[in-house]
Amino acid sequence: MLVQTFLTRIEEERGRLLHWAPLFLGTGIGLYFGVSREPTMTVYAGLVLAILACLTSARLWPWGIGPVAIGVALVATGVCLAGARAHLVGQPVLGFRYYGPVEGRIVKIDRSQSDAVRLTLDQVRLDDVGPRNRATTVRVSLHGDQRFLAPAIGQRIALTAHLSGPNGAVEPGGFDFQRMAWFRGIGAVGYTRVPALLLAPPEPGFALVVGRMRQAIGAWVQRVLPGETGAFAAAITTGDRSAMSRDTIDALRASNLAHLLAISGLHMGLLTGFIFQAMRMVLSLWQSVALRYPIKKLAACAAILSGAFYLALSGGNIATERAFIMVATMFVAILFDRRALSLRAVAMAALIVLTLHPEALVEPGFQMSFAATTALVAVFGWLRDRARNDGAWRAPKWARPVLAVVISSFVAGLATAPIGAAHFNQISHYGLVANLLSVPVMGALIMPLAVLAAVLSPIGLGWLPLKLMGPAIDWIIGVARVVSSLDGATGQVPAPPDMVLPLVAIGGIFATLLRARARWLALVPFVLAGLMWTQVTRPPVLISATGGLVGVMTPEGRALSKPRGEGFAALSWLENDGDPADQDTAFARAGFTGAKGRMRAEVSVATLIHLTGRGAGDRLADACAAADLVVLSVKRTTPPPPGCTVLDRATLSDTGAVALWPDAAGGFRLQTARARAGDRLWTR
């Protein structure tokens, strides 16, 4: 009886099976990234056979079992797609620490977490390193005196740098930088403190022509609009944020306006939507054209072409490519006389993105953009259907644009809030207000003026729309600074367990796609996700991968073993705790005792001593006599005494960061970042 009811429900959804396809394909991709060992060729062969069997079953028994078989086939396809992508993008990864000459060609310029200029180089040459061991693409941050080089796309440069392979997570289960670098083709990261020198200017020809054009446009924009205003304008037109100050970026993030910088769905939608409406209006002015040709479809073609140009101009990163696919799918729907803004179009866009870039599933950009788009299409579709019903309340015409902005900001903010909180451990309490004050300005003034600047620039008048953009950009930056400075502007939340976001996604899909009373089933995953998040427990002790930093949990929050150094790990630990403190504040907490170089901590799971500085290895025996666990920031030269657990630099280089948890026997167990990440292509 239960099986029959289940099959009946599936048959009722047959006309909307495309809407469910991204859920099944994404489940397969998620399974690939969730396993701890890289699937073997035998596993892939079995999955291909399962796909064929499922498709055959769906062909033979289209009713009842057919949709179920297709769903299983999509899950298996997701695993295969993700595995194929991971093998195809693989590049050589530097397997050791390197210090010496580095030569390469600049292909990207941006800024690091520490606000330093950061260069991505390809065609890399390293001293005495053969092709098999040499990373072909590296990313280097420039510190110190760099006045001898004005970086430009296509330049061949030389520098002396510290390089190493991409690091793993700063704590077990944390953000996996190794995986991100693998899929972006980055084989080594590092920094230099000596001047970088120009070897050769950009070569003529079409190689990197788009990158050079982006840089030229960005420089022109900043000449017309100096300071932070021009930096903001360059960021939204070319995607280059390298000129923006850290203070402005932090203010935009704290006010939930950072999405205005990313060339993603909002910008692509505003640009292509403006082009579509403008072209349709211009073509309708010619009676002969309007009566003889499908001007709506011609305008859709113009919008697609403008979006493709914007994609190329912005550098073609994954976020912008995803946004282009989404808007292109909607305009293609217009070409085939289908509704542009529909869940079917969103599902098609999601399937295309996941097929081209399966790794996008685990990135916040994909999750937030599709969550916002799906929620907006569903809510405005529901409002449209209600407006068609007789007796349904309708807002006055003059109030509809304002109401649309309020509803879209509220719905998009609500849909993306749990995702942003999970990835960035931060909630903007006044984000809705900031967006209501800024998004209309972005859509009504800044984006149309940017299009007008592009149109007028060939005749030398592009500076005029840019000048008019200035006050609007200053308004957005001012809103961000005022909102971010308000008391309680942001709140911090701890990092959730791994299953929270998948449950939130399932709940959102159920709420959007299920019919009538069945929609209440969405509460089940939502409630489970909320319970898991509220009951999350953070590790009592965290140890960095170098052994140079230890953090222990106290009633005040996590206490750190030193006030500076390894700032990225320190900041990440505190953010994942949901703790707004900085490293100095965390160091001042009552968690460690002792003198510099020999810090002692008493925690529920163990007594721990952290040895650092010169001669740390010589103090190992004394430390072992007074502690259960000793963390050593250097490589030990003598065996530890019996019964003493020692984590030295050499051990930690193999295990990665370590977390201590209580065990059933009253002691402690070690959880390592390497074990948590598993044996994957990017961890080898």
pTM of the model: 0.87
pLDDT at residue 11, as a whole number: 58
Q: How far is CA 202 from CA 147, 151, 152, 153, 538, in A?
A: 19, 11, 8, 7, 50
Helix ranges, 427-499 (H): 431-441, 447-456, 463-484
Q: How far is CA 482 from CA 30, 179, 437, 487, in A?
A: 40, 37, 12, 10
Whether the predicted pLDDT of 266 surpasses 80? no
pLDDT at residue 533, as a whole number: 94
Over residues 181-228, the pLDDT tens digits come to: 999 999 999 999 999 999 998 877 666 777 778 888 888 999 999 999
Residue 632's nearest CA partner among 571, 517, 547 is 547
For the chain, helix, strand, coil in percent to 5 are: 55, 15, 30
pLDDT band at 636 (very low <50, low <70, confident <90, very high): confident
Whether the predicted pLDDT of 6 surpasses 80? no
What is the C-alpha R_g of the chain? 27
**Cα 229 from Cα 212, distance rounded (Å):** 22
Whether the predicted pLDDT of 259 surpasses 60? yes
**Cα 333 from Cα 341, distance rounded (Å):** 9
Higher pLDDT, residue 414 or 113: 414
pLDDT band at 5 (very low <50, low <70, confident <90, very high): low
| Joined tokens for residue 329 | 């799918």
| Joined tokens for residue 378 | 């569903």
Residue 272's nearest CA partner among 220, 343, 325, 231 is 325
pLDDT band at 51 (very low <50, low <70, confident <90, very high): very high
pLDDT band at 147 (very low <50, low <70, confident <90, very high): confident
Considering only 6-10, 276-280, 661-665, which range has the smallest mean pLDDT? 6-10
Over residues 335-362, the pLDDT tens digits come to: 888 776 678 888 888 899 899 999 999 9
Residue 159's nearest CA partner among 117, 219, 130, 208 is 117
Torsion (CA) 189, 193, 199, 200 in degrees, nearest 10:
70
| Distance linking the first and last C-alpha atoms of the chain | 50
Q: How far is CA 123 from CA 187, 190, 530, in A?
A: 12, 16, 48
**8 Å CB contact between 463 and 499:** no
| Joined tokens for residue 262 | 């990313």
pLDDT at residue 490, as a whole number: 85
H or E segment at 601? strand 598-602
Over residues 459-474, the pLDDT tens digits come to: 888 899 999 999 999 9
Angle, alpha carbons 53-54-57 (nearest 5°): 85
pLDDT at residue 116, as a whole number: 85
3-state secondary structure of 497: coil
Whether the predicted pLDDT of 666 surpasses 80? no
**Interior/surface letters 445-454, b for 16+ CB within 10 angstroms, e for the rest:** bbbbbbbbbb
Over residues 488-535, the pLDDT tens digits come to: 888 899 999 999 999 999 999 999 888 777 788 889 999 999 999 999
**Cα 217 from Cα 234, distance rounded (Å):** 8
The number of angstroms, rounded, from the C-alpha of 40 to the middle of its chain's C-alpha atoms is 28
The mean pLDDT value for 304-331 works out to 80
**Cα 375 from Cα 265, distance rounded (Å):** 14
**Cα 528 from Cα 503, distance rounded (Å):** 7
**Cα 418 from Cα 427, distance rounded (Å):** 9
pLDDT at residue 679, as a whole number: 92
pLDDT at residue 118, as a whole number: 92
pLDDT at residue 272, as a whole number: 86
pLDDT band at 319 (very low <50, low <70, confident <90, very high): low
The mean pLDDT value for 254-263 works out to 79
Helix ranges, 184-261 (H): 209-224, 227-238, 246-254
The mean pLDDT value for 98-120 works out to 88
| Joined tokens for residue 106 | 């600049």
What is the residue type of 46? G
| Joined tokens for residue 352 | 């295309």
Backbone angles phi, psi at 608, to 5 degrees: -125, 140
Query: Which residue, chain included where needed, has tokens 């420039």?
Result: 142
What is the residue type of 663? D
Whether the predicted pLDDT of 108 surpasses 70? yes
